């Protein structure tokens, strides 16, 4: 990392030793403790509803979702189906609550956050199937929930961006519900970790190659030796006829080239892509400016489908 310039806001993180991932439960407990110590303040203009959707799988799993929408909105709203980050092994429907509330408030859409099953206890394809089941359930129940299912975007950050890309692939290949847009923020798309950024960033703050290796090992589980393109969308050979995409990459991220390469291949396949690279930022970051940028991108995507 010595030859790279890091944004001053992240310098303090770079000076702290990274703790390697060894136990998913320990990470989950730490996140929960942080949530208790720093709760998210509710936004008075928003209505937040927690619902359970019944899975069509034989185990009759109930999938929990949280829907954010403005209280004063009437009529059906466009939908952002949002999948939280967390390396496939941590997080829940309120992990990215600040982002979800911001999108709902400023895009004037319904944001549906999904609690999907987590690795390593439930490796691929469990989490992806939960996310796709939610898409199908919303397609059937959209009118009852005041959702405009002709204007549906999928999105997420990191592992959540992987799931968004994979849901778009599944919907295309299964001729399922139509998705109009995909928003992929610092996406984890390639388990092979053979890119320049994956080889180079071994000591960056928050998330480096070691964490990426553990993340993929836990997520893929028994499928580690025979990886599906739905687990790692970078392995997909044909990217034609997918929804238009916004892809955001962090310059100091081992996953940086996942997003850059995917954007390039989508464009080559005839898919409209808006690509942003922030050169001095590590993987785990948040920015009000970038959130506002994503609001504008989503507004445009939903307007274009009217």
Give the whole-angstrom CA distance, residue 133 versus residue 244.
22
Q: Would you say the C-alpha torsion 273, 291, 303, 133 has a positive or negative sign? A: positive
Phi, psi of 159 (to 5 degrees): -60, -35
Cα separations (Å) of 253 from 1, 145, 235? 11, 38, 20
Rounded alpha-carbon distances, angstroms, from residue 30 to 27, 255, 299: 5, 24, 35
So which residues are the catalytic ones?
158, 253, 283
Instruction: Give the C-alpha separation, 262 to 265, whole Å.
Output: 5
Of 210, 218, 181, which Cα lies nearest the Cα of 283? 210
Give 155's strand partners: 82, 183
């Amino acid at each position: 990392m010595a030859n790279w310039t890091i944004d001053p806001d992240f310098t303090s993180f770079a000076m702290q030793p990274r703790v390697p991932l060894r136990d998913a439960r320990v990470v989950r407990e730490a996140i929960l403790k942080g949530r208790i110590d720093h709760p998210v303040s509710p936004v008075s203009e928003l209505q937040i509803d927690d619902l359970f959707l019944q899975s069509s799988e034989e185990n009759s799993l109930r999938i929990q979702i949280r829907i954010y929408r403005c209280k004063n909105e009437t009529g059906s709203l466009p939908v952002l189906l949002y999948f939280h980050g967390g390396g496939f092994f941590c997080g829940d429907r309120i992990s990215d609550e600040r982002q979800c509330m911001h999108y709902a408030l400023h895009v004037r859409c319904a944001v549906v956050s999904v609690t999907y099953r987590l690795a390593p206890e439930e490796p691929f394809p469990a989490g992806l199937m939960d996310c796709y089941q939610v898409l199908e359930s919303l397609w059937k129940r959209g009118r009852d929930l005041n959702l405009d299912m002709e204007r549906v975007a999928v999105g997420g950050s990191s592992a959540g961006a992987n799931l968004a890309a994979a849901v778009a692939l599944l919907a295309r290949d299964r001729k399922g519900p139509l998705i109009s847009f995909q928003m992929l923020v610092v996406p984890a798309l390639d388990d092979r970790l053979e890119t320049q950024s994956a080889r180079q960033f071994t000591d960056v703050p928050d998330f480096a190659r070691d964490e990426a290796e553990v993340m993929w090992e836990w997520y893929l589980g028994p499928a580690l030796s025979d990886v599906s393109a739905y687990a790692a969308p970078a392995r997909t050979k044909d990217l034609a006829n997918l929804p238009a995409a916004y892809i955001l990459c962090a310059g100091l991220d081992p996953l940086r080239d996942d997003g850059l390469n995917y954007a390039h291949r989508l464009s080559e396949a005839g898919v409209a892509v808006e690509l942003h690279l922030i050169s001095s930022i590590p993987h785990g970051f948040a920015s009000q400016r970038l959130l506002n940028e994503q609001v504008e991108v989503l507004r445009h995507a939903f307007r274009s489908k009217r």
